[in-house]
Chains A and B, each alone.
Chain A
């Protein structure tokens, strides 16, 4: 039996880098909405951020199959559409704030990071499975 480790699939790598990472940011974002002085929530939040950082780091160092032209096309497409969604969300937040509703950037930014990661992961997955 060969000891040589098989590289992980590109889709798995991107799911770790974007989807799980984004999920951890989403959990942090939800916890961030609650009381800032709660130590337990603070520790749990830190764990989620640690998981997010770990996912980013792991996806860079884990041996993965190389990106080919279809993978590149799909990830660029996923990132491009995510940018459009993100700009739309930021515009909506801007409009709401102009209308006089105070929005705390500290509470909103984790959601923006989470969504920007998760949407890239989901869009890439859809493109890989459905083929575009």
Chain B
């Protein structure tokens, strides 16, 4: 089964941003960002694009699936 991998934690640390701050920017809860970072939640396309916009990256640069 494909596993979701994200660079969210790394990008967030680069920007010195808290989970709660990112959550507020994309209209999600802190728990959602936490689960995303741990690969325990697959975001909707809208959320993925909103997150990508915050970091000025493409969705593929942040999220990927690994077998």
* Interface residues, chain A, with chain B CB atoms under 8 Å away: 9-11, 65-66, 68-71, 128, 130-132
- On chain B, the number of residues with a Cβ less than 8 Å from chain A's Cβ atoms is 13
* Interface residues, chain B, with chain A CB atoms under 8 Å away: 27-29, 31-32, 35, 38, 40-41, 43-44, 46-47
A-B contact pairs, 14 of them (CB 8 A): A68-B27, A68-B29, A69-B32, A69-B46, A70-B31, A70-B35, A71-B29, A71-B32, A128-B31, A130-B40, A131-B35, A131-B38, A132-B40, A132-B41
**CB-based A-B contact count at 8 angstroms:** 32
The reply to whether A69 and B44 contact each other, CB–CB distance below 8 Å, is yes
The reply to whether B28 and A70 contact each other, CB–CB distance below 8 Å, is yes
